Structure 1
Amino acid sequence: MTETHPTKDLVQVETRQTLLRQGYHLVRSGVLAPGLRVHRDVGAVWQLLTWGPSIAGGYRASAVRVPHQTAFVDDRRSLTFRELDARTDRLANALRDRGVGPRTPVAVLCRNHGGLVEAMVALAKLGATTLLLNSGLSPAQVAAVVAEQQPALLLADQEFLDRDPGLTGRLPVHTTWADDGDCDLAGLVTEGAAAPVPIPDHPGRTVVMTSGTTSTPKGARRPHPHGLSEAASLLSVIPLRAGDRMMITTPIFHTWGLAALQLGMALHAELVLPRRFDPEETLRTIAERRVTALVAVPVMLQRLLDLPAEVKARYDTSSLRVVAYSGSAMPADRVTQFLDEFGPVLYGLYGSTEASWASIATPADLAAAPTTAGRPPLGTRLAVLDDDGRPVPRGTVGQVHVGNGMLFEGYTNGTGKPVRGGLMATGDRGRLDADGRLYVVGRTDDMIVSGGENVFPRPVEDAITALPEVADAAVFGVPDEAFGQRFAAYVVLRDGATLGAAELVERLRDRLPRFSLPRDVHFLPALPRNPTGKVVRRDLPGLRES
């Protein structure tokens, strides 16, 4: 008599269903195209099987499948996938001649441009460890990262070497971009042998640095995608298509920009890579190149919205099917404004350097609930737990936990994040509504206790930015002798607007409970933000010593 295991059988059924759904989304998006160009498809799959689903394998596969399609366009040039493959072979061979091999740590300090893509692909072909440095780090922070990570080589844009001349004395440097066009990368490509690069014994790794907005940044080891399941997860919600023109304005050194690059690679998309973000230039590029997908952070989208109406009217952005943002919360009124002006194209991804993604809000979600972070995509588990690791009822605030195939592998200093039942704590607190949508109320360490009440800054920020005079705002907790802690608000007014601190607080009384009202209000010309749009807390008055 055969013994049955209902739980095991259920897991097997769920696994088969997930695989079928993944296959459906991969075919629907064009990542897989059964029956078309069979010899090229087989060749592309062979590249992925032999190289693995790394950035090296992905771009080699695209070079076989769509060799003459444009891989990227930046401010100066464009390359096809075949040209990119050939140039990165040469670059990899030149770097190997300089001692770079499997597991060799190489630091990369670049803005978005084709040279960054070439460097990442070449390093992946060698099996090296790519350390992506945040271009917003101070010279002292860069020095601390270099001392901790001990890279053998630095590939950097010239502007960062000009800003921090001491870098060239700490380790060998090759420039990847210079304003006059004369950089080392082109010379390395010319010098390197054209021979194909042998597959390394150990696949390369990518280390992404945390933002360092409050302290020294930490290195987070990013895993390689485990095949195409991770792409299927995002594509189950965000309707990107093979061959899309994806404009990536968020920095690629950030997890969100890196994910966009990897997703674009799976879709053999044409990546449009402006080196600096300019709101009107972004609209011009969308119109001229018929960009179909824009990848950004909220502050960039807010700057698009703030353009004068007559400027926005000059450019036809009807080609956009997807505008995807991540990295920080977008104010509720700005979400609604964006949907009104650009149509139902907005997708909000909630995640982190450590968790990759946890949930995605669709245009329908955002129209119904502008502050929602959405629902978990295919293959992702999401739970809100109490301090003892038990699920909390719907509507109750708890600690957000997530599980997916792209959780980070730990910090380079040997530490990690708490994990319960295979779900990793994101460090945020949130709640689920009756429809399973997630709402993030704030970072666990941003929560303050004021007058005995637990309060979070996000609702306060939303209430402030909803005021018509306010262009931007951030709220943080500061020590308070009487109440333990209080909120301090940092506010940027719109051009020509006038608003005093007392009036601002008075107008918030009908929107917020008494214990959430900010007791300090600082008016600033602009908030100090890093390249990914996060507010740099240490640069705010009153918080520099916090």
Structure 2
Amino acid sequence: MPTDLPFVVATLIRRGLLAPGPPVRVAAQLNALRKWGFSLAGELRQAAARDPGRVAVVDQDGRETSYADLLDRAERLARGLRSVAGVRAGDRVGVLGRNHPGLIETMVATTLLGADAVLVNTGLSAGQLVTVAGEQRLRVLVHDTEFTDRTLGLPAEVRRIDERQHAELVAGAGRAPRPGGRRAIPGGLRPPPRDGRTIVLTSGTTGAPKGAQRRNPTGFGPLVSIIDPIPLHVRNRIMIAAPLFHTWGYAALQVSFALRATIVLHRRFDPAGTLAALVAHRCDALFAVPVMLQRLLEVPPPHPRPPLRVVAVSGSALPGGLANTFMDAYGDVVYNLYGSTEVSWASIATPADLRAHPTTAGRPPHGTRLAILDDEGRPVPTGQVGRIFVGNGMLFEGYTSGAGRASHDGLLDTGDLGRIDGDGRLFVDGRADDMIVSGGENVFPAEVEDLIARLPEVREVAVLGVPDDEYGQRLAAFLSLHPDRTLDADAVRDHVRHHLARFSVPRDVIFVSHLPRNATGKVLARELRSHYD
């Protein structure tokens, strides 16, 4: 018996996934997983087999789609993509859209055919989209209508399918009723000769986005790694505000299907609209990126407040003090997952972790190995900074270009620097390529950024290194202030000087109306550096 099987079983029981049910449905659920595995299609099939009438998705207009109907629509779309666009196993289908049920249908339909879904960032320009289509060898691009103009430059061999054509493909194949008027669980598609993969594009904040091939889970282990520290339960109501094309939003979708949850989606994140939806749909959980928590705190809290038990964030650094400020308003519900497109997850910070150490990334969950190594691959002492290496069952399979990442003893390099304290908590100091050397001293911009973020006048801040003729590099701080608040550059420098060494004081303090961010909330450093071009 695998050594971790008792832990996996105990966690599944604790989260309600092994609760008894109608024998016929339980058998159909297990059979779906046996035939289709733990891919997105397999997870949707098991949910539709066990809870066919349960609401799977609620869209921005309040329209509800059951698990049986969602699978039916995905199967119809799969047949349409195969017959009309010629999609076969091994092809690549680009998916460009906001958070809505049609995006999920396309992801699942692609997987049902054994094709690879390439999740395209909605922030890409027309030129970047052409580059991605070529590099990823897209056969088809399924896109929201709002992006039509951006797709006009694609080569003719890339078939474009917009929302209207998507609807026509879904409507093109009906589902025959069973005798007596009861509708059958959708069928008619067999498991493909190869498993479809999901290709997630890296954020591209410092260069062109790369396609990272994500592996499909082979069992319950990856799910348990998430739901053991994060108390999500079967049939929760979960709002996914993080973009579904991003690793974190996609992970939220996988977890939601596994839990047979009801998923609430809005096409775009709007703080007031999100809070209203959390209340209206009685959401237990919210998946978001950190900047969304900042925005939620800027609008008056609703009454009554949403019944949230989990606010799970990932995708970028959690600014200093944000977690505790949010928990002061909404309860101890924030869980921060540190990871990347390449390593999936590395550590998870619970509310207790964040209350004790607001900047911690937490501890590695079950089945994850974490090591802090020096440049020669040797472990560094507790508390010292080194390169963060991670091992788990969901490390990516490499970039579509054929390139990989540095690894050591089965652990993958995250590209970040960090340290582990005496209690086993991880602290991330920032990207290895963000660290600057100023006057011979190593400086981590993230540490300075976190400190400045604690000033009450500061709405958001980014600190980065810029060229300096005398010192080689120097720090520049870009700040956006809260409305009706004032702050001068000397006060910012004095604040940093009081808490950190002199070489950490930013020489440049630049006030801006807002920080440029991509669709996943990450600051676009290259746009800030354009101030120095």
CA–CA distance in 2 between the matches of 1:491 and 1:36? Answer: 55
CA displacement at 1:169 relative to structure 2:
5.2
Letter in 1 for 2:49: V
Aligned residues: 520
The corresponding residue for 1:59 is 44
The corresponding residue for 2:505 is 517
CA displacement at 1:479 relative to structure 2:
1.3
CA displacement at 1:184 relative to structure 2:
1.7
CA–CA distance in 1 between the matches of 2:27 and 2:160? Answer: 39
CA displacement at 1:400 relative to structure 2:
0.5
CA displacement at 1:164 relative to structure 2:
4.9
Pair 1:90–1:353, CA change in 2 (3 A): same
Secondary structure of 1:510 counterpart: helix
CA displacement at 1:162 relative to structure 2:
2.9
CA–CA distance in 2 between the matches of 1:291 and 1:543? Answer: 42
Letter in 2 for 1:399: R
CA–CA distance in 1 between the matches of 2:50 and 2:148? Answer: 38
Please tell me whether the aligned partners of residues 231 and 263 of structure 1 are also in contact (alpha carbons under 8 angstroms): yes
CA–CA distance in 2 between the matches of 1:88 and 1:541? Answer: 44
Secondary structure of 2:162 counterpart: strand
Deviations, residues 483-533 of structure 1 (Å, cap 9, x unaligned): 111111111011112222233212321022111111112111000011111
Note if 1:121 corresponds to 2:108. yes
The corresponding residue for 2:182 is none
Where do 4+ consecutive residues of structure 1 move more than 4 Å? Answer: none
Pair 1:356–1:543, CA change in 2 (3 A): farther
Letter in 2 for 1:127: G
CA displacement at 1:543 relative to structure 2:
5.9
Deviations, residues 307-366 of structure 1 (Å, cap 9, x unaligned): 2xxx21x33234101000001111122122111111111100000000100000000000
- Of 81, 86, 99, the match for 1:95: 81
Note if 1:500 corresponds to 2:485. no
> Where in structure 2 are the equivalents of 1:35-434 lying within 5 Å?
35-76=20-61, 77-97=63-83, 98-167=85-154, 171-176=158-163, 183-192=164-173, 194=175, 196-307=188-299, 311-312=300-301, 314-434=302-422
Secondary structure of 2:360 counterpart: coil
Secondary structure of 2:486 counterpart: coil
Letter in 1 for 2:171: T
Please tell me whether the aligned partners of residues 283 and 315 of structure 1 are also in contact (alpha carbons under 8 angstroms): no
Please tell me whether the aligned partners of residues 113 and 275 of structure 1 are also in contact (alpha carbons under 8 angstroms): yes
CA–CA distance in 1 between the matches of 2:205 and 2:531? Answer: 12
CA–CA distance in 1 between the matches of 2:524 and 2:100? Answer: 25
CA displacement at 1:466 relative to structure 2:
1.0
Deviations, residues 380-408 of structure 1 (Å, cap 9, x unaligned): 11111111111111110011111011100
Please tell me whether the aligned partners of residues 537 and 543 of structure 1 are also in contact (alpha carbons under 8 angstroms): no
CA displacement at 1:39 relative to structure 2:
2.0
Please tell me whether the aligned partners of residues 488 and 518 of structure 1 are also in contact (alpha carbons under 8 angstroms): yes
Secondary structure of 1:445 counterpart: coil
The corresponding residue for 2:9 is 23
CA–CA distance in 2 between the matches of 1:203 and 1:523? Answer: 50
Letter in 2 for 1:507: H
The corresponding residue for 1:4 is none
Deviations, residues 131-186 of structure 1 (Å, cap 9, x unaligned): 0001111222111111211201110011111345324856221113xxxxxx2211
The corresponding residue for 1:8 is none
CA–CA distance in 1 between the matches of 2:465 and 2:385? Answer: 19
Letter in 2 for 1:490: F
Secondary structure of 2:433 counterpart: helix
Please tell me whether the aligned partners of residues 368 and 392 of structure 2 are also in contact (alpha carbons under 8 angstroms): yes
What are structure 1's unaligned runs of at least 5 residues? 1-11, 177-182
CA displacement at 1:193 relative to structure 2:
5.8
Secondary structure of 2:34 counterpart: helix
Please tell me whether the aligned partners of residues 466 and 529 of structure 2 are also in contact (alpha carbons under 8 angstroms): no
Please tell me whether the aligned partners of residues 496 and 504 of structure 2 are also in contact (alpha carbons under 8 angstroms): no
Secondary structure of 2:272 counterpart: helix
CA–CA distance in 1 between the matches of 2:49 and 2:502? Answer: 63
Identity fraction in percent: 51
What are structure 2's unaligned runs of at least 5 residues? 176-186
CA–CA distance in 1 between the matches of 2:532 and 2:250? Answer: 30
Pair 1:413–1:513, CA change in 2 (3 A): same
CA displacement at 1:118 relative to structure 2:
0.5
Secondary structure of 1:542 counterpart: helix
Letter in 2 for 1:166: G
Secondary structure of 2:494 counterpart: helix
CA–CA distance in 1 between the matches of 2:88 and 2:504? Answer: 54
